[in-house]
Structure 1
Amino acid sequence: MNVNVTDHADSAYSLAEQRAAQYFVSLYMQFKEKTYVSTLTEDIQLWKKHHIHRRSWLSFFSRGKRKPDSQDYHRYIGWLNLNGKLDDYLDRSVSYLYMRDLGKALDSTDTQNRIQRMVADIRSQLIPDDSTTIRDQSEFMSLAGVYRWAQKEGVETATIWVIDKLKNVSTHIPQEMNAEQAQRKLIKIIIGVILHVMEEMGEITPPLERSKKLSEAIRLGYSYGLTYPYIDDLLDSSVLTVQEKEQFSLMIRDAILTRSVPELGEWSGENMEFIRYVHSELSEAFEYIKSYQRPEMQNIFFEQSFVFFQSQELDRVKELSNAKYTNEELYIPIILKSSSSRLIVRSVISAPTDDGFDQRTFYYGLYNQLADDFADMFDDMKEGAVTPYTYFLKYRDQRSDLINPFELYWTVISHLIHSVYHSDAKTREVILDRAINGLKRCKVRVGTEKYKEIMEIFASGQPEFNRLVQQMVLKADDVDFFDKLLRDQMLTNLKNNKQEKVDFHNTIQKVRGEINNQLPINKPVGTPAMKEMLIDAANYSLEGDGKRIRPILTWVMGVNEYGLDSAAIVPLLRSLEYMHTASLIFDDLPSQDNAPTRRGRSTLHEVYNSATAELTGLFLIQKSIEEQASLSTFDAKSVIALMQYSAQKAEDTCMGQAMDLNSKGKALTLEQLNMICFYKTGIAFEASLVMPAILAQVKETEIEALKKFAYHAGIAFQIKDDLLDLEGDLQLLGKPTGQDVENNNATFVSILGSEGARKEMWEHYCLAMEALKEIPRNINFLKHLLNYMVNRDR
């Protein structure tokens, strides 16, 4: 490695370290003199006038006044709006983000105007059209909601790209790491970079330029954010061995110093495949950041990256068993990493240098880090991590020289309000809101008794000041923040989504197994030889590795949603799969698609012959009708209605295939392709939903909503099929790729191109998700089915 490069990096770190040491000395003097006590006592006395409210006893009997648990997102936002608190709630929340993430001073008129514009925008998202109706949080945070925002901003391609990347990351988070927290951090960084770029653009940026910059911000946010799960969290976890961590750390250090990612080379540990993936992703991210940055910003980026990495490394190698760390050793690295992590964002997006931003961000970082470490101290103790809090907890009785981190936290707050933000009233309001809210959340999280124990340890040195603080924790209102609400909601959604996904796959596996057992057609004694051959041929096609989506969907809707008897609907499940398999046999014939493989095996006409395949298809259709007619435990009129509906849909499917065959070699419009797709594919999804609904005799309005969902889900499914035919894996698909091009088939890819087809798929995904809102049931299975359809690899 070039010695000059290393010397330059060490020099940059030394300068940063000197600055951090000066800051620490300044804080230490204030801490020793306890100047923060009188200063903040006065601040809190002013602050509490807006937060201690006398309540009438009648208010406790008023439902509109009763404050709901903030965990109930929908009701809580509604309560804030109903009680006229929503604007202040959003104002302090956005103001905090402007201070923390954008490094802004709140006494600026321009900053206040920008904050108010963002508050109005968020409010309109939460409560559309100035009505009293609260938008469901699932809209605000769902993939459909994200894609609708992307369409509004003209960043669909970048959004699809990052959705695919995030899905890929989620599947590569080892069990030893917290997958939900890793995803949350990554999403938070992406949003943070987008906010930075939006702030830099302002309001008058032309639409095309705005779209371009936001697209770049999405990719930059992901590229920078990827370092959190795959460098910081990975090195903090137990995934890698000590030797692997050393090897990985050296690789990261070399990349920062040489500005080029080294080759992976030989790997000495057992995590080769995982590290290969991480190396590939980080290399791609590294190169994207470099390609975006202006040359003059690269020095700043790599210097700040080295400062951040080096300070993290110094912290990471500390051991809680070592009783000799000095206060400087404990605090200076976290001053460096907490400030440089935000300074890096500016250099990542090549934002102009701003001395004010640099100053505010440098001093602000420690406040945020101490708050985070306080919240995480018990988890950190379990893991043996060294933070100012864990170290003080362990050695406070042995080391009288140790700084109490909780007192230093208040010292930092005092310093920020009065020395950094010049005693600005709005800044005081927001910072004290945040501090009291953090203590309130801690009290709820650990319980009152444990919280008292914590305060006895950390706040006993200043009893009068602590009494005042605890009064605020007990009595103060209007100190909570939207980003915390979203954080909690995101973690809850990620955890719930993870469990629902597991339930979804377990349901599929269980039901698929039951269906597979029910599908084979028996050969009674005395069956003629020729019929035996047809049954053998039918069973050969049925035994293929089919997904069974249609009968599975029918089982879930029929049994789980409509309460139908699982044994009673078995004939309907067989009917659907017989009909579907028959359609595949016909599709694969030489006279139609001429496919050599299906479901991982040779097609039926390849194993037997075309005539046998045609007859087997007809045989399965008749078996399907026979199965429907045997639904004897249901209302006869409903069964007849089901059979009539089934016959009509079979006719439509035949028409769709005829349209498809007739279109070969012809240029089709998107409207024509949508029609063909619906008749070929969408109808089968519709039937899977509607048939159990007919047997359950549900209302016609619900059936119409199911049809709408099926229409858009079917098209999304077909578009994904077309994309897989272009770029899928033969081993996973179980059939050759490139068949559409070879057969001169008109597809969404041939009409729209790969990128256009993806956009069209996500549009139908959104329309299908929106159709679910019209169904008076919370059908998580359908949501996950739709996600499976657009994210599958087979």
Structure 2
Amino acid sequence: MSVELLINADRCYQMAEERAANYFKSLQVQLIEKTYVHNLTKDIQSWKHNHIHHSLFSFFSRSKGKSDFRGYHNYIQYLDYTGKLDNYLDRSISYIYMRDLGKALDSKETQSRIQDVVDSLKKQLTDSSSSDTDIFSVAGMYKWAQKEGIESTMIWLINKLKTVSSYIPQGMDADHAQRKLIKIIAGVVMQEIEEMGNEISSQERSTKLAKAIRLGYCYGLTYPFIDDLLDANVLSDYEKKRYSDLIRTTLITGTVPALDDWAENNLELLTNIHSELREAFEFIRANQRPDTLKSFFEQSYVFFQSQEVDRAKELTKDTYTNEDLYIPIILKSSSSRLIVRTVLNAAEDEGFNNRTFFYGIYNQLADDFADMFEDLENGAVTPYTYYLNYHQKRDDLINPFELYWSVISNLIHNVYHSDPKACEVILDRAINGLRRFKERMGTKKYNEVMKLFASGNPKFNSLIQKMVGKADDIDFFDKLLRDHMITNLKNERKERDEFLDTVETVRSEINHLLPIPNNDHVSFEKEPIVEAANYSLEGDGKRLRPIITWMMGINEYGLAKSAIVPLLRSLEYMHTASLIFDDLPSQDNASIRRGRSTLHMVYNDAIAELTGLFLTQKAFEEQASIDQFDSKTVLSLIHYSAKMTGEMCKGQAMDLDSRGKQLTLEQLNRLCFYKTGIAFEASLIMPAILANAKEIEMLALKKYAYHAGIAFQIKDDLLDVEGSLNTLGKNIGKDAENNNSTFVSILGSDGAKRAMWDHYCLAIETLKEVPRNTTFLKYLLNYFVNRDH
């Protein structure tokens, strides 16, 4: 890298500090002169006419709306029903344009863009066909990617998010990290969309969006893997020092140093994080123009160094000046968003730079206010925690709550030049922030906080508290979405863990049900067929089919465990028989299955064939022994089972006949359904038959099984190319060796991954048609596409 692209770290940070110091001085003047009180009193008196309503309906909506309609989908429906959704989305999107995109709201072009986004978002939120698919769910993100033609990039991102989540150690908030990362990516994508404009081809738009997603991920990765990691109590003090030095060296030299010998407890963690960050950094650097690269390094260094300065503060130290407290947060809050444009190689925009620089501290002070007690508990130094500790000892300390209102006044009148829309949105946000804090902390605690921070201006505070208590229509979509995402991420993590625990528990129970006892009455000392059958059954099988039947039969249909034990056995006997036949030299000629030698390798081909036939008959014997249901129902189940077994045989014959032939995708889908989908369908339909489920429900389950089965098979095909013997428990590359047509051979690896996620989304959509709790089926599907064996 050329020397002229490297930065003078001390000089660039000094210049940034000087600018922040000048800004802080101007705020101090306004604070001392209390100009904000006069200005904002007038602003609020005007603002309140749109937000203080004296009707009975207004009282009802304030007192009942939040508690009864606060759920994400319900609240959106409530707003739409009451005619408030347009204004709600307008102020929300306007706020994002100010905060994230650095826009002034007095431009007709900006207003037009905001209206376009509001219309589009409203349509998406109120569309009954998509109301159950969250924007930031895996299915929601992939469906958006399909519309934009960037499926491969979204698959890459989904896998990256999974990787990041797996690296987050105990002591850090994995849900917060993932939400923050998704938010950063969304912000970079929004900035790119604004930069590209409308006069652009669909192909160029797809290219730019794909690149923005990757850049957003690479930049956003710094939050969990640098900022959050250094804030947490995961690394030792020595490790934090070494890690910070490594980041600093990277930003100064433009090159990521090696991790070297890290003889500490967190070597594996830091090796993984170092690798991921290095890949991200090199991608950003490779996509910078020479004329923007220096700016990127400078903004990044200011961001990192201001965080380091703040992080080094100790709450026990009572000598920090006001400048010590506020200048770093002015720098880190503004540089974090100024970086985005340099990441994207966006053109220089002085208006954006100025607005973003002055705006940052507004958000930071609002966040620090909301988090002051959590920060205090963690010993973090913020203007609020420091004032709480030392306001009685230090008369010189600036009250951060009063400074917050000075910042608001400065933004409204000096940065946005008294623009009515900007004033409206900023005051909406400020009053909403106080209301959310009051709801979270409770009235008593809130009043105590206000007594401390707002006692210097009793008349102004009285006006503010009146607005907090009575104002309507001040909620924001990003806050609703944030709460919704956090709730979903926590629930999904809990449900995923419960799913895995349940699967393992049920799997263990099923394993105890499977062994076939020897017949003591025969004249031979042992029965080789039974021994061979048990050898195959004892392998490390996933037992997915009987697990599905267990979960649906017992948990959803309320069937007794004792009643369906024969059905559970029959499903695994049938599946194991199919694997024995599949492994034979006349078919796949496999030598390893479930981590052990295949049956014909241990015994011989004839024993293997007879064992497969034996297990098939044992399956029907088990089904015929089901005795807690009427005979007509059991006969219907056996009839269905026999028909599906025949279809599976047809599928295997089709597979053998297809070898050496190039199948079409339609033929492969059909073959896959016969080989894999039918077995999953049977696991769902057989307990439904016993429960006398309605035909419409069984049709939905069949549709789910079709798409889930194909997704499962595509993952199998991918693992045969990308997996390993250790994780799979069988040899890889068998499809190529046997000259099989697979989704990978027909579509390529990337095309196969897209097809898998297409079927994933179709299966998720189908679950809406199933009138049961489908949480298990959702996580089963997630397991299908995310497994490594």
Show the counterpart of 1:516.
511
User: CA separation in 2, counterparts of 1:63 and 1:514?
Assistant: 52
User: CA separation in 2, counterparts of 1:576 and 1:512?
Assistant: 13
Show the counterpart of 1:118.
117
1:647-705: CA deviations, max 9, x gaps?
Answer: 00000000000000000010000000000000000000000000000000010000000
* Matched residue type, 2:398: I
| Structure 1 position 403, deviation (Å) | 0.6
1:62-82: CA deviations, max 9, x gaps?
Answer: 999956545311111111111
User: CA separation in 2, counterparts of 1:252 and 1:107?
Assistant: 40
Query: Which of 635, 658, 666 in structure 2 is aligned with 1:663?
Result: 658
Gap change, CA 1:202 and 1:413, over 3 Å in 2: same
Gap change, CA 1:456 and 1:144, over 3 Å in 2: same
Gap change, CA 1:127 and 1:660, over 3 Å in 2: same
Work out whether 1:239 is the aligned partner of 2:239. Answer: no
1:458-479: CA deviations, max 9, x gaps?
Answer: 1111111111101000000000
Query: Which of 404, 407, 414 in structure 2 is aligned with 1:412?
Result: 407
CA contact (8 A) 1:434 1:479 kept: yes
| Structure 1 position 285, deviation (Å) | 0.3
| Structure 1 position 348, deviation (Å) | 0.2
Residue correspondence of structure 1 range 41-56 to structure 2 within 5 A = 41-56=41-56
User: CA separation in 2, counterparts of 1:6 and 1:312?
Assistant: 21
Query: Which of 256, 263, 268 in structure 2 is aligned with 1:268?
Result: 263
1:401-425: CA deviations, max 9, x gaps?
Answer: 1111111000000000000000000
Show the counterpart of 1:73.
72
Show the counterpart of 1:12.
12
3-state SS, counterpart of residue 750 of structure 2: helix
Query: Which of 131, 152, 156 in structure 1 is aligned with 2:151?
Result: 156
Range with bigger deviation, 711-720 or 48-57: 48-57
Q: CA RMSD in A?
A: 1.7
| Structure 1 position 140, deviation (Å) | 3.0
Work out whether 1:207 is the aligned partner of 2:238. Answer: no
1:545-572: CA deviations, max 9, x gaps?
Answer: 0000110000000011000001211110
Work out whether 1:532 is the aligned partner of 2:546. Answer: no
Gap change, CA 1:256 and 1:59, over 3 Å in 2: closer
3-state SS, counterpart of residue 141 of structure 1: coil
3-state SS, counterpart of residue 350 of structure 1: coil
1:76-100: CA deviations, max 9, x gaps?
Answer: 1111111110000000000000000
Show the counterpart of 2:89.
90
| Structure 1 position 529, deviation (Å) | 3.0
* Matched residue type, 2:9: A
CA contact (8 A) 1:572 1:631 kept: yes
Gap change, CA 1:551 and 1:8, over 3 Å in 2: same
Show the counterpart of 1:498.
493
User: CA separation in 2, counterparts of 1:20 and 1:178?
Assistant: 31
3-state SS, counterpart of residue 745 of structure 2: helix
Gap change, CA 1:582 and 1:134, over 3 Å in 2: closer
Gap change, CA 1:65 and 1:569, over 3 Å in 2: same
Show the counterpart of 2:34.
34
3-state SS, counterpart of residue 708 of structure 2: helix
Show the counterpart of 1:775.
770
Gap change, CA 1:577 and 1:180, over 3 Å in 2: same
User: CA separation in 2, counterparts of 1:5 and 1:245?
Assistant: 28
Work out whether 1:748 is the aligned partner of 2:743. Answer: yes
| Structure 1 position 530, deviation (Å) | 8.0
Query: Which of 713, 717, 730 in structure 2 is aligned with 1:718?
Result: 713
CA contact (8 A) 2:8 2:252 kept: no
CA contact (8 A) 2:5 2:294 kept: no
CA contact (8 A) 2:189 2:212 kept: yes
Give TM-score scaled by structure 1 length. 0.98
3-state SS, counterpart of residue 520 of structure 1: coil
1:434-467: CA deviations, max 9, x gaps?
Answer: 0000011001111111111111111111111111
CA contact (8 A) 2:7 2:252 kept: no
CA contact (8 A) 1:59 1:66 kept: no
| Structure 1: tracts of 5 or more residues without a match | none
User: CA separation in 2, counterparts of 1:335 and 1:678?
Assistant: 59
User: CA separation in 2, counterparts of 1:551 and 1:435?
Assistant: 55
Gap change, CA 1:594 and 1:205, over 3 Å in 2: same
Query: Which of 643, 657, 662 in structure 1 is aligned with 2:638?
Result: 643
User: CA separation in 2, counterparts of 1:334 and 1:533?
Assistant: 76
Work out whether 1:731 is the aligned partner of 2:730. Answer: no
Residue correspondence of structure 1 range 91-106 to structure 2 within 5 A = 91-106=90-105
| Structure 1 position 139, deviation (Å) | 3.7
Q: Number of matched residues?
A: 789
CA contact (8 A) 2:375 2:385 kept: yes
Show the counterpart of 1:279.
274
Query: Which of 546, 549, 552 in structure 1 is aligned with 2:547?
Result: 552
CA contact (8 A) 2:582 2:588 kept: yes
CA contact (8 A) 2:591 2:601 kept: yes
Range with bigger deviation, 210-219 or 135-144: 135-144
User: CA separation in 2, counterparts of 1:4 and 1:89?
Assistant: 49
| Structure 1 position 3, deviation (Å) | 11
Residue correspondence of structure 1 range 280-679 to structure 2 within 5 A = 280-529=275-524, 532-679=527-674
1:29-57: CA deviations, max 9, x gaps?
Answer: 11111111111111100000000011237
3-state SS, counterpart of residue 464 of structure 1: helix
* Matched residue type, 1:451: Y
Give TM-score scaled by structure 2 length. 0.98
1:301-352: CA deviations, max 9, x gaps?
Answer: 0000010111111001100010000000000000000010000000000000
* Matched residue type, 1:322: K
Gap change, CA 1:90 and 1:403, over 3 Å in 2: same
| Structure 1 position 124, deviation (Å) | 1.0
Gap change, CA 1:79 and 1:566, over 3 Å in 2: same
User: CA separation in 1, counterparts of 2:3 and 2:736?
Assistant: 55
CA contact (8 A) 1:68 1:75 kept: no
* Matched residue type, 1:335: I
| Structure 1 position 531, deviation (Å) | 6.6
CA contact (8 A) 1:677 1:718 kept: yes
User: CA separation in 2, counterparts of 1:37 and 1:64?
Assistant: 30
CA contact (8 A) 2:583 2:598 kept: yes
3-state SS, counterpart of residue 175 of structure 1: coil
Show the counterpart of 1:228.
223
Query: Which of 776, 785, 788 in structure 1 is aligned with 2:780?
Result: 785
* Matched residue type, 2:49: K
User: CA separation in 1, counterparts of 2:176 and 2:59?
Assistant: 39
| Structure 1 position 203, deviation (Å) | 1.5
3-state SS, counterpart of residue 690 of structure 2: helix
Range with bigger deviation, 310-319 or 71-80: 71-80
Show the counterpart of 2:758.
763
Show the counterpart of 1:141.
136
User: CA separation in 2, counterparts of 1:63 and 1:695?
Assistant: 50
* Matched residue type, 1:664: R
| Structure 1 position 729, deviation (Å) | 2.2
Gap change, CA 1:206 and 1:57, over 3 Å in 2: closer
| Structure 1 position 269, deviation (Å) | 1.3
3-state SS, counterpart of residue 737 of structure 1: coil
| Structure 1 position 142, deviation (Å) | 2.1
* Matched residue type, 1:695: L
User: CA separation in 2, counterparts of 1:253 and 1:65?
Assistant: 52
* Matched residue type, 2:427: L
